[in-house]
Amino acid sequence: MSDRVLLKHGAGGRAMRALVEEVFVRDALDGLPAGAVGLAAMDDGAAIPLGDGRWLVVTTDSHVISPIFFPGGDIGRLAISGTVNDLAMMGATKVLALTCAVILEEGFSRAELERVQASIRATCREAAAPIVTGDTKVMGRGEIDGIVLNTTGVAITDRVVRDSGLRPGDRIVVTGTLGDHGLAVLSARHSLGLEGDLRSDVAPIGSLIAHLLARHGDDVTAMKDPTRGGLASALAEMAQKGGVGVVLDQLALPVTDEVRAAAELLGIDPLVVANEGKAVMGVRPEVADAVVAWLREHPLGRSAAIVGTATSERPGSLILDTGFGRRLVSELEGEPLPRIC
Amino acid sequence: MSDRVLLKHGAGGRAMRALVEEVFVRDALDGLPAGAVGLAAMDDGAAIPLGDGRWLVVTTDSHVISPIFFPGGDIGRLAISGTVNDLAMMGATKVLALTCAVILEEGFSRAELERVQASIRATCREAAAPIVTGDTKVMGRGEIDGIVLNTTGVAITDRVVRDSGLRPGDRIVVTGTLGDHGLAVLSARHSLGLEGDLRSDVAPIGSLIAHLLARHGDDVTAMKDPTRGGLASALAEMAQKGGVGVVLDQLALPVTDEVRAAAELLGIDPLVVANEGKAVMGVRPEVADAVVAWLREHPLGRSAAIVGTATSERPGSLILDTGFGRRLVSELEGEPLPRIC
């Protein structure tokens, strides 16, 4: 165990989960009503029963992305989308309130701040999610890199979806293409000249998830958004929590030609980089085709696909079926790219 | 209007309020039910009616204090107390859920992180406030100074207290001594050798406010915690929002000998530096003595005092009665000390 915090501890993989478990979850005050989903669950958010059949869902995220403007989005759109999506992953698609806390570096451009704020406003409207309170801090030059946003979301829902509910036989469905955000940011950060084609998928997908759950609420067994650490980390975590194996069909994974080309050029697997407008879920096998067809009727679900199956073999493992054979996918220690979200 | 963000824009005074109004509040999506206290109110938090007579109260704060350990507290205790206290200032003394998002600098000491976390845990227990979800990010060396915490709090209450309710004739009550936090941090930051006597007052005061409201809930007309910008900024804001003048009796202000000595040495007025375990409120004049006596029965209210009066003269102004005469106190542009909380 390192005596210093390393970049991998913030990268969404095994190292981060270990740090969180060892430092933040250990001995935490519980004090929640029975049945609540609290810190120890390490789900996309918390869910607290209100005693009348409804649940209060809460989630929080800090956003430290660099660069703050990238093809397809910016830190403001990312912050609102990330929080709205974490609520949606818990089944809460109607946002009651968002908070937005801003930390700025002394000397930060007022024009860039206005641009970020305009994007926040536009994304709030798109997601029908009002910011109700905020906080503003300024640190000295060199004490923080530009701007950091924290957003917290609060919602009330009748039904909670967990990330731990996968059962053997469930089909694994993704709502769209993979790797777009991570490769777009990487390309922008290093000026690789791929920006013309590569765009982040960052978007609030609460409306897609509401559309899904309205018809298939009883058919979705588990859900998570494959952000930091990518689809591989999200599915590895879901497999461990659900006590199932997950076999992923590589040929079925929706990846754009642009992402595939950039990934090959850079030697980075689209499976392990962040997405910011996608969900991965388990669905009952007999309705999997219907779920995909239904997702595709929504503009944010056009590229939805069945990409794998949960099994009772090798519980806790993620296995990639390449079409030529199967290999175990180790969960990453961390994502290859820091400050991706 | 500056085209760059300056330190004063995060300091709790007039400059910060202007930035927040011009950038964050302008054109914000409302979308809240009628009667809600939203972003535009710029109160200590938001309050959303749940439709059954109860209110959901939400508040958020980022904590960027330097140094992270100071006499009387640390960034962890500060984060939990700050959020619990903002909820309490809205009348919500029973915390349903806290979120805690941590941003760390690569290389941050694991031992210091454990020490901060132990303090968070202890303060959560003291405040009976559970952390239900969190987030961990790591930025590179030199991209952030050590550690930043964001905490958001959620509570449900039957009664909301605003910061805008002062009426002419109300007496102004503070729950304890002033200036302790700001001067303790200043002393620690600059190694002034005053640390032996000066200690921050940082504490969660939800239990004190619950004690107060249990007996005097109908007698408190307005409430706020005098954090960044100190008592002067909090009262100037309350005077403006309430459309009243406030006359402050300098000789009645509870200030310890240690704070007074340090303030004189440094040429800093205890009225304009942050407190982190205090409240200032308006109370109906006929019960003011009873309110102070009742506050003093609680361990966190031992030094409660009546310190002034709201008047119909000079609405929006804060006037200091020095005992020798009266002078107008201008609201500060910013607090003299950055990164105080």
Give pLDDT tens digits for A33-66: 888 999 999 999 999 999 889 999 999 999 999 9
- What is residue A196's predicted lDDT score, i.e. its pLDDT? 65
- What is residue B333's predicted lDDT score, i.e. its pLDDT? 80
Asked if residue B152 lies in contact with residue B95, where contact means CB atoms within 8 angstroms, the answer is no
Rg of chain B (C-alpha set): 19
Comparing CB atoms, the residue among A16, A46, A101 nearest residue B60 is A101
Tokens of A15: 């190292």
Test mutation, A3, A50, A135, chain B, max B CBs within 10 A:
A135
Give pLDDT tens digits for B5-35: 999 999 988 899 999 999 999 877 778 888 8
- What is residue A1's predicted lDDT score, i.e. its pLDDT? 56
Task: Please count the residue pairs, one from chain A and one from chain B, whose beta carbons lie less than 8 angstroms apart.
Answer: 283
Element (H, E) at B116: helix B110-127
B39 Cβ neighbours under 8 A, 6+ residues apart: A130, A131, A132, A133, A134, B24, B25, B28, B46
CB–CB contact B20 A133 (8 Å): no
* CA distance, residue A25 to nearest chain B CA (Å): 9
**Helix boundaries (H) for A156-309:** 180-189, 206-216, 230-242, 257-266, 288-296
Could you tell me which chain B residue has the CA closest to the CA of A27? Answer: B121
B238 Cβ neighbours under 8 A, 6+ residues apart: B163, B164, B166, B222, B224, B246, B280, B282
- What is residue A67's predicted lDDT score, i.e. its pLDDT? 95
* Packed helices A206-216 and A288-296: angle between N→C axes, nearest 10 degrees: 140
Asked if residue B300 lies in contact with residue B175, where contact means CB atoms within 8 angstroms, the answer is yes
- What is residue B1's predicted lDDT score, i.e. its pLDDT? 56
CB–CB contact A128 B31 (8 Å): yes
Residues of chain B scoring pLDDT < 70: 1, 194-196
Tokens 């004739």 correspond to B169
User: Using a CB-CB distance cutoff of 8 angstroms, which residues of chain A are in contact with residue B117?
Assistant: 23-24
A312 burial level (CB within 10 Å; 0-12, 13-18, 19+): exposed
CA dist., res. A60 & res. A150, Å (int): 7
CB–CB contact B137 A20 (8 Å): no
Q: Where are the domains of chain B?
A: 45-157, 171-328
User: Using a CB-CB distance cutoff of 8 angstroms, which residues of chain B are in contact with residue A45?
Assistant: 133
Topology of the domain covering B45-157: 60s Ribosomal Protein L30; Chain: A; (3.30.1330)
User: Using a CB-CB distance cutoff of 8 angstroms, which residues of chain B are in contact with residue A56?
Assistant: 96-97, 154
CA dist., res. A207 & res. A252, Å (int): 25
CA dist., res. A151 & res. A157, Å (int): 19
Give pLDDT tens digits for A152-166: 999 999 999 999 999
Same fold, A45-157 and A171-328: no
Q: What is the DSSP letter of B88?
A: H
User: Which pTM value belongs to this model?
Assistant: 0.96
CA dist., res. B252 & res. B233, Å (int): 18
The three-state secondary structure class of B177 is coil
Comparing CB atoms, the residue among B3, B100, B154 nearest residue A111 is B3
State in words which class domain A171-328 has: alpha beta
Which of these, A182, A171, A187, lies nearest to A277 by C-alpha position?
Answer: A182
Tokens of B152: 């958001």
Residues of chain A scoring pLDDT < 50: none
Pairing between β-strand B318-321 and β-strand B245-249 as defined by DSSP bridges: parallel
Cα angle vertex A45, ends A43, A50, to 5°?
115
Test mutation, A27, A54, A84, A132, chain B, max B CBs within 10 A:
A132
ipTM tops the 0.85 cut: yes
B264 Cβ neighbours under 8 A, 6+ residues apart: none
Q: Contacts by B262-266 with C-beta closer than 8 Å and gap 24+?
A: B262/B183, B262/B186, B262/B187, B262/B192, B262/B194, B262/B198, B263/B179, B263/B183, B265/B192, B265/B194, B266/B183, B266/B186, B266/B192
CA dihedral A87, B99, A96, A165 (to 10 degrees): 30
CB contact residues (below 8 A), chain A span 101-130, against chain B: 101-111, 113-114, 117, 121, 124-125, 128-130
CA dist., res. A26 & res. A21, Å (int): 6
Asked if residue B314 lies in contact with residue B245, where contact means CB atoms within 8 angstroms, the answer is yes
